[in-house]
A and B are shown apart, each in its own frame.
Chain A
């Protein structure tokens, strides 16, 4: 019997033992999505800038979108009896007055009434203080960012870590999030067309090019963290939390630095549990250890109807905010992944080349961020 024992032996063994990870493939399945649910998110903090966003997630067949819920009457109720009225500053975005800051030790509750007359309330959330961030530091990782299949390196990264001393007397729940400012030179890409009088116009050609246009003034791209980074201090209470990875920032440019704004929020146990649930729903691996799916319902309830489901969480969290400048020039020969993901393709037929305004949005700003070097 002509079996090559060695090869078969290893193949079989690997097959068996790699069983849990080896055979993950995309699965073609069409969902008939039908949920239309209210989604709410927002935090009161001890810093200015409390906003709450109220949306309806609309799902039909295979697609979904978020529809801002306009014209709600919203307020935040504090435990000292005061009420803070929220104003709709953009579609579905409700903001507290600019000078409003939460107070440590108070509880806060969100209440709002939708245009069709339904009243919703969040649970009362205690605003507790967030310990000071002791240190932020960075490390270079040549092969920091891999592609989706985990096979090829897409970009080198600067990995940002922080240290914080956990207070002994209290149970603490941490949430870290960040906002990255990267200088952006291209403000619009006309896919299969060119810019004419500030509008993309299609080019009649079999293979029309995609033209990129520079910004008319200095512009910054805003990039947010995409994973939920939370920590329960149950194992580390009273100790120093050291080397907590905050973010892996790709080399969008070989040497130009960038500004990272890190926030550390002090969550309530309920908020922690909610974010834990949220992160487990998006980070599945299909193996034995997966948490089964569950509805991401937080602390907001319809006052009159307990069966009406609202996703999202309204929290109160003492917040520490730190700006950290990432110096990329320190590292030689990084692998670069530009913001565009390819070399720019400028339209050179018109002179001077057309430029496009840097429009303020969630992902872009013409306002020079504080701390930009």
Chain B
């Protein structure tokens, strides 16, 4: 297909809005020929009456009669004929009139089609029938159709098109789900936790797009098998490799290149999926402006999955994931106390998951999973005139073993029982000076902890109207030695000055325990076949959290286990919703409301410093958070145009008040909006696919600007002005909105080869909205200036190529 054809296609699209007047056919012409036809239902073969037949997109069309036939006289020319009828997928054809033509047209009934927008995959009316609330499924097909920045298909950015999911802005290292902080989401890729979900400080998400089969987001009722985080679960699964057929797919974009292969090793038995993606184009910076010359940025991720169908009752899979990032700049702040020429960030993830599925009988199966996950961020500080780099690193190692029994004794019960043991090993910080003689090596003691959990859940179909999903999880956390636990004067702030004693613990000794029940409840009541109401309640405990004093946690942010001083976060969520499917499940409507409280959220003291800090309890405060909101969503799942529109109203407020002193409070102990409190959000996504060759997507997103702290005054010291902030987060940056466009051309040569290619043309931020990422001030002498930082302030055009070889 040439460029001319492509442009023509766009032009044709736009004609439904503008006129085509000049080329309108002349009906009164001298030697007309007859165009006639019959329109029928593709499945039943019944004639369709009152279908509209339009010639060259004329506003006035003809109707088919009761026998489904139509006829019109046209002079010799080329014409585009469209036939449409409500509930059917429109039909288009190009005809050359130089004789009488008769068309036999079959229209496809939309209600019979598979869904295009997949928010639920297992049943057409799952929205209505599943007892869980706030569960969203998105399949990779939907994700791949959304316009992606630089053409890089992005799971996390797609997620932000859903109600209740927001972030602090373009460069956000994670998402906020229903008022939860970034680290309160349990992000799993094939059961292994992902501690840092983005590449390049939030620009791209880490999930390899060609290996992901779909994702489930639990933002309401979370099944009892999940635990360890307070807000939500994002369960991303990797595809199983095909056991029958070799295939290859890949792509090239401005940012990264990727390749995925599915290889059947033993036909019908063993298959292997291998995927890799790399972005190493940063050499371009040396031709950029002066201040960017020193920037280097690259990332890569790779995954492999081995799937072995042992027999009809047993399967085994082993998956592996690796991710790495490198970022160098001399523009971000360095480490004040170490001289260096620039700051380099380097972070790596290495995960393994082994899963054995065993069907004991038709009704009972057991799934046993072992997980190994390691996350290792480092800050490297290269020295002037030397090859040496001082490195400051940390490491999280999580090893987990879990087993799950699924038992379905009859149609009325679905029972799940399981046990879970997780060992955490956290190395909070080491400093390695290398050959630098002027810096001392440092090492913060390793933290160890074990989390044990048992869970049971039963989904009971009480009657045709009522289904209940009742789950209970019990989790128990032990902080283990070796460690030194300080005791501080009770009632006083925890500082170096209030230590009264310290206790040493040997390796393996338990220094502190926490635990408790985590009930999970979901209720569904069918009002009728098309609509239902649901109710949910959830309690979740989190023993591992991020300590960060930046707007969004950095990849190098410090993780902290609960211990004698840091209490685990406990979150409770109540939610209720009404769901309705309309017009043969073509449309879906839902409204959900929620209220959430969280105990022991972590905040930092003014001037806190976490880097290589042995006793983090002297730098942080704990408080509470409450969030509430309402989410409205309408989805059109089938037809030529699919998509959704949603509106969310939500608030998140925090309160930190540990004592009377100023240093023990934030915002005088009063409630204040969290960094990610953005009350109004609107997302719209439209996807137009006339046929399987073209796919056009438009997405629009709007959100209230996030809060930031504005000064209440200025104070001058030594002839220099310093801003004085009395209240936290009382101002807001400008509202955020953005329109994205993508146009996907699949298999442009229209032939059924083994090799099929597709082009994706994307414009991110189509109308060039200059969205603010942050507002900040700098003072110079006694003067002050406010600045805004904008990320992606102009349209970003990109073209990517993907291929498949089957």
- What's the nearest-Cβ distance from chain A to residue B28, in Å? 40
A13 x B711 contact (CB < 8 A): no
Residues in B with CB closer than 8 Å to A3 are: 799
CB contacts (< 8 Å) of B780 on chain A: these are 148, 226
Q: Which residues of A contact B774 (CB under 8 A)?
A: 286-287, 290
Residues of B within 8 A of A237 (CB): 440
A287 to B440, CA, bound (A): 29
A50 CA to B218 CA, complexed, in Å: 62
Q: Are A26 and B786 in contact (CB under 8 A)?
A: yes
Contact string against B for A residues 255-289, beta-carbon threshold 8 Å, 1 for contact and 0 otherwise: 00000000000000100011011101111111111
A307 touching B668 in the complex, CB below 8 Å, given contacts A37-B713, A236-B439: yes
The 8 A CB mask of A1-41 against B (1 = contact, 0 = none) is: 11100001110111111111111111111010111110101
Q: Quick check: is A88 within 8 A (CB to CB) of the other chain?
A: no
Query: How many angstroms between the C-alpha atoms of A296 and B777 in the bound complex?
Result: 15
Residues of A within 8 A of B552 (CB): 288
- Distance of A60 Cα from B92 Cα, bound (Å): 68
A238 within 8 A of B: yes
At the interface, yes or no: B715 with Cβ under 8 Å from chain A? yes
Cross-interface CB contact of B282 among A17, A226, A239, cutoff 8 Å: A17
Q: Min CB distance, A358 to chain B, in Å?
A: 19
B716–A66 contact, CB under 8 A? yes
User: Are A35 and B776 in touch, CB under 8 angstroms?
Assistant: no
Q: Could you tell me which residues of chain B, from 608 to 632, have a CB within 8 Å of some CB in chain A?
A: 609, 612
Contact of A294 among B725, B796, B799 (CB under 8 A): B725
Structural contact, B337 and A25, CB atoms closer than 8 A: no
Any B CB within 8 A of the CB of A364: no
| Interface pair A19/B551, CB less than 8 Å apart | no
Q: Are B798 and A33 within 8 A (Cβ)? A: no
Does A218 count as interface, using CB distance less than 8 angstroms? no
* B723 neighbours in A (Cβ, 8 Å): 281-282, 293
Residue B273 at the A interface, CB < 8 A?
no
Contact A25 B787 (CB under 8 A): yes
Question: Which residues of chain A are within 8 angstroms of B496 by Cβ–Cβ distance?
Answer: 269
In the complex, B311 has a CB within 8 A of chain A: no
Q: Is B372 an interface residue (CB 8 A)?
A: no
Name the contact of A236 in the complex, choosing from B149, B203, B337 (C-beta under 8 A): B337
Contact A241:B284 (CB < 8 A) given known A31-B710, A278-B717, A290-B550: no
Contact yes or no, B776 A284, CB < 8 A = yes
CB closest chain-B residue, reference A274: B607
Q: Is A18 in contact with B776, judged by CB distance below 8 angstroms?
A: no
Report A144-157 CB contacts with B as 1/0, cut-off 8 Å: 00001010000000
Task: Please indicate the chain B residues that have their CB under 8 angstroms from the CB of A280 in the complex.
Answer: 607
Return the contact of A31 from the options B254, B287, B336, B711 (Cβ within 8 A): B711
Count of A-B residue pairs with CB < 8 Å: 261
Contact of B713 with A24 in the complex, beta carbons under 8 Å: no
B726 in contact (CB, < 8 A): yes
Is B255 among interface residues, defined by CB-CB distance under 8 A? yes
Q: Which of B12-20, B291-299, B469-477, B688-696 contacts A (4 or more CB under 8 A)?
A: B291-299
Answer yes or no: B245 CB below 8 A from chain A CBs. Answer: no
Smallest CB separation, A105 vs chain B (Å) = 17
Please state if B713 and A240 are interface contacts (CB–CB under 8 Å).
Answer: no
Which A residues lie within 8 Å of B339 (CB)? 243
Q: Tell whether, in the assembled complex, residue A296 and residue B722 are in contact, meaning their CB atoms are under 8 Å apart.
A: yes
Q: Interface-forming stretch among A127-135, A181-189, A227-235?
A: A227-235
Residue of A nearest to B720 (CB): A226
Contact B291 A150 (CB under 8 A): yes
Q: Chain A residues near B66 (CB, 8 Å)?
A: none
CB distance from A312 to the nearest CB of B (A): 7
Question: Do the beta carbons of A241 and B438 come within 8 Å of each other?
Answer: yes
Residue of B nearest to A3 (CB): B799
Given A20-B332, A25-B788: A282 and B285 interface contact (C-beta under 8 Å): no
B230 within 8 A of A: no
- Beta-carbon contact of A8 and B722 below 8 Å: no
Bound complex: CA of A79 vs CA of B798, how far in Å?
Answer: 70
- How far in angstroms is the closest Cβ of chain B from A196? 30
Nearest residue (CB) in A for B710 is A31
**Which residue on chain A has the smallest CB distance to residue B338?**
A235
A362 near B719 with CB under 8 A, answer: yes
> Among the interface residues A33, A34, A235, A363, which one has the most CB atoms of the partner chain B within 10 A?
A235
For A83, list chain B residues within 8 Å (CB).
Answer: none
Which listed residue (A66, A239, A290) contacts B776, Cβ 8 A? A290
A14-B254 contact given A226-B720, A283-B778, CB 8 Å threshold: no
Contact A16 B203 (CB under 8 A): yes
| CB closest residue in chain B, given A59 | B713
- Asked if A297 and B713 sit within 8 Å, CB to CB, the answer is no
Q: Give 1 or 0 for each of B764-789: 1 = CB within 8 Å of chain A CB.
A: 00000010111111111100011111
Closest to A245 in B: B339
**Candidates A39, A235, A284; contact of B442 at CB < 8 Å:** A235
**8 Å CB contact of B724 from A21, A238, A296:** A296
Minimum C-beta distance from A47 to chain B (A):
18
Interface residues on A, range: 35 or more
B 717-737 binary contact with A (CB < 8 Å = 1; else 0): 111111111101000000000
Is residue B488 contacting chain A, with contact meaning CB distance below 8 A?
A: no
Pick from B282, B716, B785, B789: contact of A23, CB under 8 Å: B789
Q: Is A57 on the interface with B (CB-CB < 8 A)? A: yes
Interface assignment of A372: CB less than 8 Å from any CB of chain B: no
Using known A-B contacts A57-B724, A276-B607, determine if residue A21 contacts B550 with beta carbons closer than 8 Å. Answer: no
Q: Does A338 reach chain B (CB closer than 8 Å)?
A: no
* Smallest Cβ-Cβ distance to A244: which chain B residue: B339
Q: Is A331 an interface residue (CB 8 A)?
A: no
- A27 CB, nearest partner CB in chain B, Å: 4
A242 to B383, CA, bound (A): 13
Which residues of chain B from 307 to 331 have any CB-CB distance to chain A below 8 Å in the complex? 329, 331
Q: Tell yes or no: B714 within 8 A of A by CB.
A: yes
A286 with B332: CB separation less than 8 A: no
Which residues on B sit within 8 Å (CB–CB) of A341?
none
What is the CA–CA distance of A306 and B659 in the complex, to the nearest angstrom? Answer: 11
Q: Roughly how many angstroms separate A283 CA and B718 CA in the complex, as a whole number?
A: 16
B115 at the interface (CB under 8 A from A): no
Q: Which of B609, B724, B793 contacts A295 (CB 8 A)?
A: B724
Q: Which residues of A contact B709 (CB under 8 A)?
A: 292-293
A284 pairs with B438, CB closer than 8 A: no
Counting CB contacts under 8 A, is A336 at the interface?
Answer: no
Interface status of B201 (Cβ within 8 A of chain A): yes
Chain B residues with CB under 8 Å of A36's CB are 713
Which residues from chain A contact B291 at a C-beta distance below 8 Å? 21, 150
Q: How far is the CA of A150 from the CA of B330 in the complex (A)?
A: 13
**Docked CA distance A231–B439 (Å):** 13
State the Cβ distance, A356 to closest chain B Cβ, in Å: 22
B306 CB, nearest partner CB in chain A, Å: 34
Q: In the bound complex, do residue A34 and residue B287 qualify as a contact, i.e. CB atoms below 8 Å apart?
A: no
Contact A231 B337 (CB under 8 A): yes
B662 at the interface (CB under 8 A from A): yes
User: Which B residues lie within 8 Å of A29 (CB)?
Assistant: 710, 775, 786
Contact A14 B609 (CB under 8 A): no
- In whole angstroms, how far apart are the Cα atoms of A224 and B782 in the complex? 13
- Pick 22 A–B contacts, CB within 8 A, sort by A: A12-B797, A12-B798, A14-B284, A16-B150, A17-B200, A21-B331, A23-B791, A24-B789, A34-B712, A35-B713, A37-B713, A41-B718, A233-B337, A234-B612, A236-B439, A239-B439, A243-B339, A282-B722, A296-B606, A296-B715, A297-B606, A297-B663
Nearest 8 pairs of A and B residues by beta carbon? A35-B713, A59-B713, A277-B607, A294-B606, A27-B788, A286-B789, A35-B712, A23-B790
Interface positions of B (Cβ within 8 A of A)? 3, 6, 149-150, 170-171, 173, 200-203, 254-255, 281-282, 284-285, 287-288, 291-292, 295, 297, 329, 331-333, 336-339, 431, 437-440, 442, 496, 549-552, 554, 606-607, 609, 612, 660-663, 668, 675, 708-726, 728, 770, 772-781, 785-794, 796-799
Q: A24-B787, A231-B336 are in contact. List 19 more A-B contacts (CB 8 A).
A: A2-B3, A15-B792, A18-B292, A18-B295, A21-B331, A26-B788, A35-B713, A35-B724, A37-B724, A39-B717, A236-B438, A238-B440, A241-B438, A277-B607, A289-B333, A295-B726, A296-B724, A297-B606, A297-B662
